[in-house]
Amino acid sequence: MENTKKDVQHEKIAKKGARIMIAAPQSGSGKTLITCALLQALKEKNYHLESFKCGPDYIDPMFHKTVLGISSRNLDPFFTEDSITRMLLSKGQDSRDLAVIEGVMGLYDGLGGIREEASSYALAKATNTPILLTVNARGIGRSLLALLSGFLQYDTAHLIKGVILNQTPSSFASVLAKEIEETFRIPVVASFPVRDDVRIESRHLGLVMPYELEDIQSRLKIASQVLCENANIEQILEIAKSAPKLEYDVESDIKHKITEKTIRIGVARDEAFCFYYEDNLDLLKSLGAKLIFFSPLHDDTLPKDLDGILFGGGYPELYLKELEENESMRNSVKSAIENKMPSLAECGGFMYLHEIMEDSDKNEHSMVGIIKGKCRKTDRLQRFGYMEMTANRDNILCKKGDKIRAREFHYFDSDCNGNGFTAVKNDRQWECVNVDKNLFAGFPHLHFFANINFAENFMKSCEEYKCTKSEN
């Protein structure tokens, strides 16, 4: 019988996947530490795990990776439709027993801090994921019941299935747990006492990097031991296993090659450039890319025989001296881009392509020199948050008028932000991104699943460049 396109579009894939979300009433409640402690505890019980981070954060997933040894992924309902979000979650669980999702900010804090869209709760609803609400109970007693009452009342989908009491002495945690369970008929599945020896420090863009903490492995193992002493792990597992099957449209499962040729994409990845969505990299691979990782800090030149380059975000401002001193790499990058190699540079990668970058003391450091301008640190976040971008002219990733959702998060600013796109956030708009036929360079971070055409067009540009090379 003939299978029409309409038939395929309506076909569903359903997969059973145990999963749980660690959420909180507000930022600073200890979600990352609790998530990592739980991952470590379950890993030691020989569970095969996958971890995710709600929202655009790049740093928290690095802590997950420190525990599991595999990349954590981002799930962001601002960027992706619900069916695609479920597909990305399901794909990450293909060979795993359990997924642990770390929430972002407060449970209901979405766009603008007042909308549900793009919140942890929106993600939990889109994926039907049970929630463990982690509450920083330091300095609070019975008033916690009022807080929980409000959160449970707002939970119209009834996804909050348990409570974790953080920063609470074990003796008092048992008292609070009894009150909570008798009042709300919801279990307190764990508590975590005040422990300064497992604290994770922060800086201007969030937590410090895991590799900056020499004892991070021991900290997380201690945290895991403490959690296990004060948690009902079996109860947590039962809650995770109660999650219903994940369903998504077949057409959401996008996986096809753009070309049969091997397209070699260089990916800058080291201490300075480490902010990537793993699903972006996986999508490029599914479209035919072979990813070649290199270090602008440590390697002398670009890898040989590349057809395109990705420069992700990160903290290049912490390594300006080293980046400047690696002149051979800077020259190699400049030569490649000037010779029309397709290149995509986001945020920190964009900063690296400038002529000059200032450090915090206003000392100037020479960078690649493709972007004719200077980057300097400001005293506040610039153009912070989600946005929608519209192309002002044809470029390497899309046609004039094409749109994609994106995000900015940076203290540095440039005197050459570009005008290839117009970004809109609420009632504000501004021009951004330096573009031409081989370059996309600006502060916005892209999630390719927000508009897969952008990734496809990048691959097509790389293939055209490869063909041009072979002809010459």
Query: Residue 235 sits in a domain of what CATH number?
Result: 3.40.50.300
At a CB cut-off of 8 Å and minimum separation 6, what does 72 contact?
51, 52, 53, 60, 61, 62, 64, 65, 278
Do 63 and 94 share a domain, yes or no?
yes
Do 378 and 450 share a domain, yes or no?
yes
Structural domain ending residue among the three candidates 249, 281, 305: 249
Residue at 61 is within a domain: yes
Tell me the HSE value of 447 on the side-chain side, using a 13 A CA sphere: 28
Round to the nearest angstrom and report the end-to-end CA distance of the chain. 49
Residue at 327 is within a domain: yes
Do 460 and 325 share a domain, yes or no?
yes
- The catalytic site residues sit at 347
Tens of pLDDT, residues 305-341: 999 999 999 999 999 999 999 999 999 999 999 999 9
Based on the structure, what is the number of domains in the chain? 2
Question: Quick one: what percent of the chain has pLDDT higher than 70?
Answer: 91
Measured CA to CA, the distance from residue 418 to residue 429 in angstroms comes to: 14
Asked if residue 248 has pLDDT above 70, the reply is: yes
Parent domain of 370: 257-471
| Helix residue ranges, H only, 190-277 | 216-229, 233-241
171 or 408: which carries more pLDDT confidence?
408
CATH of residue 263's domain is: 3.40.50.880
Do 181 and 53 share a domain, yes or no?
yes
Do 223 and 269 share a domain, yes or no?
no
Q: Which of 9-13, 258-262, 363-367, 452-456 has the lowest mean pLDDT?
A: 9-13
Do 215 and 266 share a domain, yes or no?
no
Residue at 202 is within a domain: yes
Asked if residue 255 has pLDDT above 90, the reply is: no
Summarize the confidence of residues 111-128 as an average pLDDT: 93
pTM, two decimal places = 0.90
Question: Quick one: what percent of the chain has pLDDT higher than 90?
Answer: 73
Do 206 and 266 share a domain, yes or no?
no
Residue at 33 is within a domain: yes
Do 227 and 358 share a domain, yes or no?
no
Residue at 47 is within a domain: yes
Tell the burial category of 380 from Cβ atoms under 10 Å away from its Cβ (0-12, 13-18, 19+): exposed
Residue at 3 is within a domain: no
Do 297 and 166 share a domain, yes or no?
no
Residue at 329 is within a domain: yes
218-252 per-residue burial string, b: 16 or more CB within 10 A, e: under 16: ebbbbbbebbbebbeeeebbbbbeebeebebbeeb
State the pLDDT at residue 198: 67
Do 134 and 63 share a domain, yes or no?
yes
Do 400 and 303 share a domain, yes or no?
yes
Do 280 and 200 share a domain, yes or no?
no
State the pLDDT at residue 416: 94
Summarize the confidence of residues 264-292 as an average pLDDT: 96
